Structure formats: structure tokens, C-alpha cells
Amino acid sequence: MLKKRGSALAFMRSRRKFSVLLLLILCLMVVSPASADLVTVNSPWAYTTPTIDGTIAPGEWTDANDVDFTFDMRLRGVDISLQNLSARFYVKNDENNIYAAVQIFDEDYDARDAGDNYDGFALLFEDNHDHVLVTGDNGEGIRMWIGSPFYTNNDWHYNSSSSWLADGAAPPFGAGKTNDGAFAWTHTNKTENAIGDYAFEMRIPLVGADGDAYDLAVTSLPKTLGFKIWFFELDVGTDGVYPDDTSYWPNGDETEDGAKFGNLVLAKRPPPTPVGGMAAPIVLPINEPSLLTPLVWLTLAIIFPIALTIVFIKLKKKKL
């Protein structure tokens, strides 16, 4: 009898170890595969096509996802934060374009030529979402000085030896390729050093005129891209980025590290609203991030330990 009871206890101990191990595995599985990225922003389907004029007009971004964030403007030469800037990111897409806008609030206007004392902005993409920037990854941006090659050439691409370059600009400033898409910006007080709000609006083709070598080449939806928003002030030598890895410095270097980009999840066309009858089933693609994924894993992580505990209690009672 003692031998049998000892065997039963050993069996229960091994079962407990197994349950603890299983619970640990399930807890790790709750962490989404996208958790390696700093943030995930979902781009909803665009029902309204915005006018790209640098003005956030009433109604044209109501169907977009809007995300409030903060630029931590840190010096390039020493790891010191000079200011925090409040900002807002709008994004949506259809089958042809990404529509994006960024507002930066209570920021002084800088467009001076002398000594490169001007501001700059960019929305950058890591096209293949493999966390590695390669030559040809796409971006949209501007440098505020009217004499800069980056002032009118707003379609950018990444060059592994020269950072981000303007497609339409002549070498050595760019590839001389097509400056497609649309980009517009405004400042509410265009007086040097005057405080106001910046607004940037963009239409970015999912398939650009220059192909995958210099543009996006998104041929099917849904699709996940890496993204980074960058604002810099050359007059004081600061950079702010979103998303921002606070352990990484200088901030500007994050724009050249694909592992420090966030997820931008582009939507596919939703099914039409049913008129009578049954609604079409919701199909979630297994190869793209979903808002339901963490919930599913969390549910499994709760149900499995409870079920195992019930089984162990019954086994223990039966053995005793």
C-alpha cells in the first residue's frame, strides 16, 4: 500500500511539474509575434479620399485611425532631451494608396538657409517587414528650406551608404527617379521662430512608378509594413521619432535601424454590408497581426491550467 501511495505521489509531482511547464509555455505564447516591434498601428479602410493640401479639413480624416504621441526631441551630440512635442498621426488606406497625415503642435517655424537652420519631417517605411532596412525602402519627407533638393522632391528612398535620399533629386542627393504620390504641408504661423502647428499630408502609392527598387510594391492586402515618423530641428541639432526606443540614442539613428520601426497594418477591402439574409463570415488572415490574436491566446492560457487542475484533482482522489 505504501509503495502504491508513493508511486501515486511521484506521479502527481511529475504531473504538477508538467502543468507548471505548460502554463509557462502558454504565458509565453500570449506574447504576440509582433511584440518585438515598438508599436502596432492599424490602418483602416479609406471611405473618404482626403485632399492632399496640408490642411486637416473637417470630415476628411474621420475614417482614419488617429494616434496621439510625443516626440522626445533629443540632442544629437549628447543624450539630453530639450523638449517634448505633442503630435497626432492619421492613417488609412484603400487598394491603391496609403493616406497619412501628421500634426505637430506648438512648434516654432524654421526654414532658414544659413547654416542649415531648418526643420525636417519624414514618414519612413521598412517595406518587407523583416526588420532590416535595405536600399530602396520607401519614405515621404521634406526639408523646410526652399533651396534644398528635399524641399520639392518628397518621395524618398533608403540608401544603405547614404541614409535617406530624395527620388526626384539629381545625384548626389537622390536617384533621379520618379517623384510620385502627393505631399503637402503647412504651418499656422510661417514667421521664422514663430510658434504654431505643423500639418503634413501624404498620398503614397502602394505600387510606385519606380517599382520595388525605389517605391512600395504592395500587390495584395492586408499587408504589414515597418514604419517610423521622424521630425528634426537642425538649428538646435535635435531629433524626435515615433515609435521611439527610449534606450536607443541618438534618436536619428533609429531611422536607419529597421529593428526599431513599428508595425503599420494596412487593411484589406471590407466585405459589403449585407442587404437581408446572412452576413458574410469574418475571415482573419493567419499570416497578419490581428487584434483578436492576444485575446485567443489569453483565453487558452486561462482555460488549459483550469482543465489540467481538475484532471489532477480527480486523479489524486482516485489514487488515494
Query: Beta 155-159 vs 138-143: how paired, if at all?
Result: antiparallel
pLDDT for the residue 20:
43
pLDDT for 226 equals 98
Average pLDDT, 10 consecutive residues per value, the chain (320 residues) = 46 49 45 60 98 97 98 96 98 98 98 90 97 96 94 94 92 90 97 97 96 94 98 96 94 96 97 65 43 48 58 54
Residue that the C-alpha cell 439574409 belongs to: 277
Q: What is the pLDDT of residue 272?
A: 86
pLDDT on residue 313: 56
**What is the CATH number that goes with domain 40-266?**
2.60.40.1190
Domain boundaries defined on the chain: 40-266
The confidence score (pLDDT) of residue 16 equals: 55
CB 224 within 8 A of CB 263: yes
